[in-house]
Structure 1
């Protein structure tokens, strides 16, 4: 695998049982690159290790006054210089390739897992942890994979040189061999402490990043309540903690570097002193002493490779363990079991996919591959089963009187949303709306994990993940707008039946387009060329909601679930949005979680969910007249007290006053 070939067509199935197993799997996944690195490393190191021998021969030739031997030694040295240069250059090239490709493989796997889990990921792992794994941790993992082959080359070369020295000069060779063992092991006791300090610094930095992101996201609210200084003080304290942790980590690194410089220097002094005494006693020739000295100088280089690999492994193992934990996450299905491997599709799932398409009233026109996140609570794909209004509603093309499909059904709450209808859902518990909306998108929300949501009679959790996301799009109450032009924001997987202009018109975005065009001089008056800032921070809350709604309408999914899509919009605009939404989605299934009377009045049916169950269904005006609990939620008025209870309370009050 070369860098130009990235991304991988298939990054593979990682071994996530532990961090060590993940590192071993990565090494096995690029054996070709590891073999190339080992080969070039051996060429480089063996050539470098041969230079002291040739230098010793040259010294002996000078002492013997032999011009021929000196010329031969010079020629060999020139050849070795070429092989050292070529080997070092190619080793660096292949090593960097191994580093980048290993990191890219892990990055692809993390992106795939995040796409599969969607909003479930941040419920099970902190968002800051995911960001840290996908940035700093994959760099350490790539470092370990890359350094493994260079370590292997250094180990083989060191064993060969030490063995040769013991044969060439047994006394000096034994001294060098023992010294190398001591130097290789000297740094190991310091690495766990250095790793612990680095992890502590990483944790503090992640906390500071999360705090900064939360502060920026809520800046308008903080200004409104005068809380900027409070949060600024918190960030200053956390920032100082990061600085102190970084200083402590740097001190440990400095100690390790000092050990790596001081101990090899001591070994070299010992070898020179012992060898010089042997030369004075006549036990070795000057050329032999030069050869041993050059060999020791060379061994200091693979020694650094040993220590580098030890550090790389020590720092990458916790990073690999964190990455393995994220990669091991799976979507939980109705029975609480993990999703089966993607490469194996059970026959009953194939049958379920066919059943959904057979029971629906939509004819397939093509497959639209999703390559972008739409910025909802899920990474959503546009429907691949898009048909004409006539094919969805019957030969006449009229919705009224045409038979509806089974639509969406939640057996846990009893909620039903028939095909072709705009169904509004009112929840007695405001926090339950978001959970139920996510559940309709395929997330089992029951405590025991039972009761999968059904689409046309087939369980969504029984479908492959891509298929479920193709059919159902969920937009939560705080959708994300990515930075870029408005055209790029609206460039999402879609059926092609709903144009961008029509979606923007239905979402009542005319004033938003004007504001974007005026605020972007480079757009030259074209709103689609206007730039949207990160998370739409330059827009008001209502403007962001309307752009997000338009983006969801463009996708034209079979089932669209909206959680409070107009909570930040004024009543006049909300009424127009309700009308446009119903007209645009008249042949699709739409579920809106809201308590707005304007949206509720436009809905075909309203479902009131209380204590986890659908307790009432009907038209908004009927429910507002006859259901006191529903009226209390929608109008935000307290429920009237029953007459017997009112009399009892009055009696208690009178008794208390007389006492």
Structure 2
């Protein structure tokens, strides 16, 4: 694999059972590059090890006054020099290639895993952890992969040189081999402590990075409440903790490196002293002493390579463990979906036909009994505001974990569990899903299934019985979790309550896959983005009055919350998916703008399935049907006006009135009715 061939067409399926197994898998995937580096490394080190022998021949030729032997030694020296140059150049080239390609493979795997998990990733792994894994940890993993080949070449060359010394000069050879073994055993016990200190430094750096990211993301709010100094002090303390940990780590590694310099020097002094006494006694020649001295001096180079490999492995093992933990995360039903990935597209029930011929599809959640009929705008009101986001993600086919359907006491246990536990629980969830009796092919609710899921007719309290994990959401009767990921993402689009705007021009922001039936102008008009376009043009002098060329800053920080929300809504409308799920799409806009958005949303999504999570009467009054989710079940269904009069719990959530208040009378004007009156006037 060459750098110019990146990215990989298929990075492979990593072994994520442990960090060590992940490193072994990387080595196997780059076996060809490792063997090339090993060969060039042996050539380089063997050539360097040959210098003492050639120098010894030259000294012997001078002692014997042999011109021909001296010329032969000079020719041998030239050959060895060329071999060292070629070997060093090619080793560096191949080793760096191994480093970059290994890092690129892990980066590509992390990107794919992030895309597969979607918004649920940060529920299972902290954002700072993901950033640290995708930056510093990848570099350390690549460093270890690169160091393996040079370590192997150093080990083979060292064994060869030690064997030659023992054969050529048994006394000096045995002394040198024993000294090398003692040096290795002296440094090894220090490596675990150095590794622990480096791991502590990395964890503190990750927490500081996460704190900095959170501070920057909420800077506007912090300035509004005067909280900059508080968060600045927190970051300063976190930064100082990172500095102290880095100093402790540097002290340990500097001590190890000092030992690697001092102890080999003492060994070299001892070998030279003993060899000089043998030469004075006449038991070895001067040329032989020079040869042994040069060989022992050469052994100091592999010793440094051993130390470098030990350092790289010590740093990369925790990094590989964290990378394996992230790569091992699975969304519920993903393995089942992978097994179905080879089904021809023409056999699937929900493949996307041309937009002008496709029929609307329905969405049904057996877990809550929520049903979104085909081609209708369904509004969902949740008694628990936090449950709305989780339910929206579930309808999109990527819930965080089974913890979402458990009671609150289970959540912390899930958060603290390791990857293996999560995979085991997800597998159990999938087994129950596979055994479920699903609804009809048209997406209508079926009879009660074997998972114990709650249906619309069920009592909202659930009877106090323990509820099993719900089956997958059904898209026209097809389990969404069982579909190939690309097909599921194309069919259902979820816009959460805090959408992200990437930096770039407005044209680049709206350059998304779409059906082609909705133009960018229509989407922007439906989202009421007129004032947003003017603001973008005013803030982008280079746009020359063209809103599509206006630049959006990172995360849209130059815009207000409502402006960002409307741009995100326009992007979602332009995509024109078969099912569009919007979580609080108008929570940051004023009432008049919200009313216009509700009106245009109904027009633009006419004949398409749309689910809106909101408690705003302006949106609820425009919906074809409203579903009230109380607890973990869809309690009641009807129109907004019907539920206002018939259900006290629904009325309490929507109107913010006490649950025991009297129902809204026909003559009482709601916010929606008042707005409609203003618009008609």
For the aligned pair, the TM-score class normalised by the smaller chain equals: 0.7 to 0.9
Mapped contact 2:341–2:484 kept (Cα < 8 A): no
Q: Does 1:339 align with 2:335?
A: yes
Structure 1 residues 471, 341: CA separation in 2 closer, same or farther (over 3 Å shift)?
closer
What's the CA shift string for 1:514-552, capped at 9, x where partnerless? 111111122222211121111111110000000111111
Mapped contact 1:58–1:69 kept (Cα < 8 A): yes
Map 1:90-489 to 2 at 5 A: 90-333=90-333, 339-340=335-336, 342=338, 344-345=339-340, 350=343, 354=347, 356-357=349-350, 384-388=352-356, 391-392=357-358, 407-443=362-398, 445-447=404-406, 448-489=468-509
Could you tell me which runs of 5 or more consecutive residues in structure 2 were left unpaired when the two chains were aligned: 407-467, 664-681
Mapped contact 2:110–2:326 kept (Cα < 8 A): yes
What's the CA shift string for 1:570-589, capped at 9, x where partnerless? 11111111122111111211
Q: 1:392: how far off? A: 4.5
C-alpha distance in 1 between matches for 2:149 and 2:37: 6
C-alpha distance in 1 between matches for 2:191 and 2:88: 28
- Secondary structure, aligned partner of 1:339: helix
Q: 1:340: how far off? A: 4.0
Q: 1:626: how far off? A: 3.0
Q: 1:439: how far off? A: 1.2
C-alpha distance in 2 between matches for 1:227 and 1:478: 22
- Secondary structure, aligned partner of 1:118: helix
Give the number of equivalent residue pairs: 598
Q: 1:355: how far off? A: 5.0
C-alpha distance in 2 between matches for 1:418 and 1:232: 50
Mapped contact 1:479–1:545 kept (Cα < 8 A): yes
C-alpha distance in 2 between matches for 1:315 and 1:34: 20
Mapped contact 1:419–1:589 kept (Cα < 8 A): yes
Q: 1:142: how far off? A: 1.1
The match for 1:11 is: 11
Mapped contact 1:154–1:305 kept (Cα < 8 A): yes
Structure 1 residues 346, 557: CA separation in 2 closer, same or farther (over 3 Å shift)?
closer
Higher mean alpha-carbon deviation, 595-604 vs 624-633, is at 624-633
The match for 1:58 is: 58
Mapped contact 1:392–1:587 kept (Cα < 8 A): no
C-alpha distance in 2 between matches for 1:115 and 1:346: 17
TM-score, with structure 2 as normaliser: 0.85
Mapped contact 1:498–1:553 kept (Cα < 8 A): yes
Higher mean alpha-carbon deviation, 26-35 vs 136-145, is at 136-145
Mapped contact 1:353–1:463 kept (Cα < 8 A): no
C-alpha distance in 2 between matches for 1:441 and 1:172: 72
- Secondary structure, aligned partner of 1:187: helix
Higher mean alpha-carbon deviation, 447-456 vs 316-325, is at 447-456
The match for 1:521 is: 541
The match for 1:538 is: 558
The match for 1:568 is: 588
Mapped contact 1:424–1:591 kept (Cα < 8 A): yes
C-alpha distance in 2 between matches for 1:341 and 1:269: 66
Could you tell me which runs of 5 or more consecutive residues in structure 1 were left unpaired when the two chains were aligned: 358-363, 365-383, 394-404, 644-659
Q: Does 1:578 align with 2:595?
A: no
C-alpha distance in 2 between matches for 1:55 and 1:392: 83
Q: Considering only aligned residues, what root-mean-square deviation do their CA atoms show, in Å?
A: 1.8
- Secondary structure, aligned partner of 2:349: helix
C-alpha distance in 2 between matches for 1:484 and 1:412: 40
The match for 1:378 is: none
Q: 1:353: how far off? A: 8.1
TM-score, with structure 1 as normaliser: 0.88
Mapped contact 2:384–2:630 kept (Cα < 8 A): yes
Mapped contact 1:352–1:463 kept (Cα < 8 A): no
C-alpha distance in 2 between matches for 1:424 and 1:111: 34
Match of 1:606 among 626, 631, 650: 626
C-alpha distance in 1 between matches for 2:317 and 2:628: 51
